[in-house]
Amino acid sequence: MSVIPDERRLELSKDEIDRYSRHLILPDVGLQGQERLKGARVLVVGTGGLGAPAALYLAAAGVGTIGLADYDFVEASNLQRQIIHGTKDIDRPKTASAKDRIRDLNPCVRVVTHNVRLSGSNALEILGAYDAVVDGTDNFPARYLINDACVLLGIPDVYGSIFQFEGQAGVFYARQGPCLRCLFPAPPPPGLVPSCGEGGVMGVLPGIIGSIQACETVKLIVGGGDGLIGRICAVDAWSMRFSQMRFDKDPACPVCGAEPEIRELIDYELFCGLKQAEEAPAESITARELKARMDRGEPLQIIDIREPHERSMFAFPQAKAVPFGQLVRRMEEFDPAVDAVFICKIGQRSIYAIRTLREAGYEGRMLNLLDGSNAWARDVDTALHQY
């Protein structure tokens, strides 16, 4: 069944018939399917690695209205994977760059930009204007926000996620199957899962996952095909293996279950454990201050919580390597009488590391290296590369 009713189908122009001819001769799409695509309104949240290919393929397919929600600007490091942007777009708003590229690809498409950060105060209003949402975000608060808003609005959430060489795609649609919370009732502890900016991502991987998201969205609009509702498609791009996992609707799900507890949007940063870390920030030390203390020979414990592949970029001087996931069980290796300085890439996971150790009962003084190893490469040893 299509998410676009018959009365929302829009007649095609002669130019559009020419443009979409390869769709029109497909018996499972045909004229009716293409008219549904023209009448459809799809919101792509995030115009980065996932949103870039998804938005391009939806535009090429003839989705009549494409919304772009993003508040970020194009950076050079984006261009390794975010193919909707170009070198000339560096420092431009991503929504502006993406809009220009979509209009160049298909001037028949209407593009609506939302240069805002989605939150509990605006998500229902923004998402409520669309028939489906493509989730191209890279953080847990946004994913749970989008899921809950889609459940409350009764529209599908086309999900994707990527990390290093692995990706996942699926469709959360509470009217026909389970939602995100049925599969993941709670997010992982803050800091346990590095972001792509910290852990890296193979540049072509989001192209694979974003294309799957676009394909699933087209099927939802046209109506037909064996979609990913109640399934997660997983891809290991390094070994080029595809697998899938089926999951069922949870009758006790707090948002889509038989007796839902969540009837309005909540504070998702608090739900994901991020606000507590912000409200009680760790004591920090700058890279230059740390270098000065090291030069004076002051007793210090420098704990590098980066993963092995990150440390291969450069080894932090005088540091003890203890990956984040090993901190609590190796806590006895630390001396509470000596200041401990925690190192990660950008100074965010190290805040969560300090919080985790405090909750585990560590009583020594702990310092967070402000802006992480990148600050050391920027302010102390410029021969090293920021990554």
Strand, coil or helix: 320: strand
**What are the respective helix, strand and coil percentages of the chain, to the nearest 5?**
40, 15, 45
Q: Which of 108, 179, 196, 233 is catalytic?
A: 196
Respond yes or no: is residue 179 known to be catalytic.
Answer: no
CB of 344 within 8 A of CB of 353? yes
pLDDT at residue 278 in the model = 47
List the structure tokens of 103. 């209009």
Residue 180 one-letter amino acid: L
Respond yes or no: is residue 344 known to be catalytic.
Answer: yes
Query: Stretch 40-49: mean pLDDT, rounded?
Result: 97
* Distance separating alpha carbons of residues 311 and 318, to the nearest angstrom: 13
Q: Domains of the chain (ranges plus CATH)?
A: 6-276 (3.40.50.720), 280-379 (3.40.250.10)
* Distance separating alpha carbons of residues 203 and 159, to the nearest angstrom: 19
Tell me how crowded residue 284 is: count the other CB atoms within 10 A of its CB: 16
Across 172-181, 182-191, 266-275, 340-349, least confident range: 266-275
Which pTM does this prediction carry? 0.80
Q: Which of 179, 253, 256, 344 is catalytic?
A: 344
pLDDT at residue 339 in the model = 97
- Chain segment 249-298, per-residue pLDDT in tens: 999 999 999 999 999 998 888 777 666 544 456 899 999 999 999 999 99
pLDDT at residue 270 in the model = 77
Q: Which residues, including other chains, have CB under 8 Å from residue 149's CB and lie 6 or more apart?
A: 123, 124, 127, 133, 265
